[in-house]
Amino acid sequence: MSSTWIKVYKDGNLNCTVPLNCPFELGRQKSPNEALYTPSFQNDVGRLAIAPEPIVKIPRKFLRVLPLSSGQVRIENVHDSAVLFMDGGTSLRPRHSIDARPGVLLILDGGVAIRFEEPIQLSAIGTPTLAPIMGAEAFRNGAIQNNETLDSAKLIQWFQAVIIILQSASSSKDLFRQSVDALVRLVGMDNGAVVLWNSVTNKWTTIDRQSSTGLDEYADEWMPSQQILMAARSKREALFHVPSGVDPTRSAEQLSGFVVAPILADDSSLIGVLYGERRRDRVDRPDVSTLDAQLAQTIACAVATGLLRIERERRVAEEQARFEQFFTVELARSLTADPQLLDGRDADVTCLFCDIRGFSRISERLGPQEVMQWIQTVMGVLSDCVASQKGVLIDYIGDELFAMWGAPEPELDHAARACAAARLMLNCIPQLNEEWRSRLGTEFSVGIGVHTGRAHVGNTGSQRKLKYGPLGNTVNLASRVQGATKYLRTNILVTADTRRRMQNCEDFRRLCKIRVVNINEPVELYDLPMKADADWSKLKTSYEAALLEFEAHDYRGAMRRLMECLEIAPDDGPSVLLLSRSVTAMGEGHGDDAWVLPGK
C-alpha cells in the first residue's frame, strides 16, 4: 500500500484521491478527451489530469511528484515559467524541486488545490474482515436472509459491508447511490431509493433509485408511496408496511411491502428518507419485517453521518486552503481547529512593507506575460523569506508585499524575525538580478520599511473573502517608512520602536528623524545593511557622529564628518541627504531637526 495519497480539491470540494505509489505527472487536461481526476499509467509512470482544459493558467505538464523511501514527497515544477505556490505563500520556481512531508498543500489557479496525505491507519479486530472493495463477494457475505439465525460474526460482516460501501463515497451523490445499492443488495429490497424533502417547496424529490433486477421496467410509472413518506416525515423513525392479502385486483402499491428510514441532519431536521419496497407479485419474496426496517435504519444513520463528514471535510479543506495562503502549515492547522484565533483583537505586532524599485520602468520594457512571470518569481522568493521567519503574508499590493509578525499567536521576538526577513529579502536580490538581467535589460532593487506597535488584528475582509491582517496607525507608519527608503536612498529602514525590541542593535545605524504625512510625532529611523562588515562599522561611526553635530547645529563639523562617510561609501544615500540638509541649514539657520518627507 502507498504511504502517501494525492488528494485533488476544486473550490474546497474533494474531487479525487489517488495513491502515490509511483512517479506521477500532474497538470491540466491535454485535451477534452483526457479523463479528468482519473489516473493513467505508461511505463510505470502515472498521469493525473487535475484541472479541466479551459483552466489555461495551469500548464498541461506542471508537476512531477515522486514518493521517497523517507516518507517524504519530491515535488518538481517541470514547467519553464509557471510558479507554484504552497504552504502559506512558499513558492516553487520553474525547474526547481523540493522534498516535503505529507500534509503539504499546493495552491493552484482556478480554485484547484492538491494535498499529499498519509492514509488513516486502522486497527484490526478478531472477526474476519471483508475486502475493502465494492464487489459481489462483499454483498454475498454481508447479505442477511430474514429466516436465518443471526450471530455476532454475521452481524459484524454485515456492518463491515455497509461501512465499506458508505465510506467509499466522496460526495453526497455517490453516498446516495451507495446507500440505495446497499438497501437493494444487502437488505434484499426489489426497489430502493433516496427521496429528499424540500422544506421550502414542501415537496419530495427522488434523487437515486435502483432495482434488484438492474432493469427499471417501471421507471416511467414508479413513485414512492406518499402515505408512507408522510408517516416517516411526521414520526421521524424507521417504519415498514406488510400488505394484507394477495388480491390481484388491488393496486401495485397495495401489493407491495415497504420500508422507510429517515435521514436526519445534525440538528435533527429531516433531510430525506431511505425508501425500499419488496413486491408481492414476485414469486417466493418474503414479507418485509422488523429486521428489514432496522437494517434500513442502520444504513440511513450511516448516510446521515456520511453527509455530515463530507460537509465537514469540505469546510475544513476550504478553510485550511484559505488559511495556508497566509500562514505556515502548522499555524493553518491551528486556525482550522480554533477559528476564534482570527477574531479581531488588539495585539503588539511588527509590520513589514517591501516595494520593488524600478517596476514601472521594467513593465514598459517587457510584455504583460513576461512581467507577470517576473513579478510572480520575485514575490515567490520574497514570500519564502517571510515564511522562513514564521511571518504572516498579509497581501500583495501591486508590486509591494505586506507581511506581519506577532499575531494571530503572540511572539516575543516578532521584531527580530521581521528584521531577519528583511535582510533575507535584500540578500536574495543579487541572485534574482543574475537570473533576470538578460530579460529585463536592467537590474532592480527593493525598499523595505519595518515598524512595531499596537494594531487591531483580525479579518479585515468580509465573510465572503478572508483577508487577515492588522489595521491602525502602526500599519500606516510602516508603509510611510517604506516610502522613505526612496528619499534616503537606502534599502531597509527600521523605526526606533522596532530597534528597541531587538537584543542585538550593533548593526543598526541611526539616520534621522522624519515627519510623515498625517502623523504628528516625528519618527526616528535606522537603517540595516545586507551585511555588516568593517567598512559598514566605520561608516556607521562617522555618520552617527555627524548626525549628533547636525542636531547640535554644528553644521560645519557635520559636513566634515559626512565627507569622511562619502570617502568610505561614495554612493551612501543618507550621507548625501544629510550633507545637503547641513548646507541648507547653514544658509537658512537651524529649524526643526526632523526632516519632512517630500511625499509618501
Please classify residue 230 by burial: count the beta carbons closer than 10 Å to its beta carbon, then call 0-12 exposed, 13-18 middle and 19+ buried: exposed
Residue 207 confidence (pLDDT): 87
The pTM (predicted TM-score) of the whole model is: 0.53
Q: Are 140 and 154 in contact (CB under 8 A)?
A: no
With a CB cutoff of 8 Å and minimum separation 6, the contacts of 194 are: 176, 179, 180, 206, 207, 208, 209, 263, 272, 273, 274, 275, 303
Mean pLDDT of 482-500: 95
- Mean pLDDT for 569-584 is 92
Residue 142: CB atoms within 10 A of its CB come to 23
pLDDT at 553: 92
How wide is the angle at C-alpha 48 spanned by C-alphas 45 and 49, nearest 5°? 145
* More confidently predicted of 183 and 465: 183
The more confident residue out of 436 and 147 is 436
User: Does the pLDDT value for residue 125 go beyond 50?
Assistant: no
pLDDT of residue 189: 87
Mean pLDDT on 458-466: 74
| Cα–Cα–Cα angle for 57, 58, 62, rounded to 5 degrees | 140
Instruction: Examine the pLDDT at 396 and tell me if it is beyond 80.
Output: yes
Tens-place pLDDT, residues 177-227: 888 888 888 788 888 999 999 888 888 889 888 888 765 555 556 778 777
Across 479-494, average pLDDT: 94
* pLDDT band at residue 434 using 50, 70 and 90 as cut-offs: very high
Check whether 432 has a pLDDT greater than 80: yes
Q: What is the pLDDT of the chain when averaged over all its residues?
A: 82
- The residue among 555 and 145 whose pLDDT is bigger is 555
For the segment 344-364, the average pLDDT, to the nearest whole number, is 90
Best-predicted range by mean pLDDT (148-152, 231-235, 419-423, 500-504) = 419-423
Give the 3-state secondary structure of residue 336: helix
* CATH no. of 5-117: 2.60.200.20
> Which residues, other chains included, contact 235 with Cβ-Cβ below 8 Å and sequence gap of 6+?
none
The answer to whether 419 and 502 have CB atoms below 8 angstroms apart is: yes
CATH no. of 136-314: 3.30.450.40
Residue 283 binned pLDDT confidence (cut-offs 50, 70, 90): low
Return the C-alpha cell found at 284.
Answer: 417466493
Q: How far is it between the farthest Cα atoms of the chain?
A: 120
pLDDT digits (tens, 9 = 90+) for 533-573: 889 999 999 999 999 999 999 999 999 999 999 999 999 99
Q: What percent of the chain has pLDDT over 90?
A: 38
- Percent above pLDDT 70 for the chain: 82
Cell numbers at 57, concatenated: 493558467
Region 12-25 average pLDDT:
88
The yes-or-no verdict on residue 131 having pLDDT over 50 is no
Handedness of CA 390, 394, 398, 400 (dihedral sign): negative
Q: Which CATH superfamily is domain 339-531 in?
A: Nucleotide cyclase, GGDEF domain (3.30.70.1230)
Residues 6+ apart with CB under 8 A from 240: 257, 258, 259, 260, 288, 289, 290, 292, 293
Is 170 in contact with 216 (CB distance < 8 Å)?
no
Task: List the domain boundaries for the chain.
Answer: 5-117, 136-314, 339-531, 533-600
pLDDT band at residue 363 under the 50/70/90 scheme? confident
**E strand or H helix that includes residue 265:** none
Helices 152-167, 172-185: axis angle to 10 degrees equals: 150
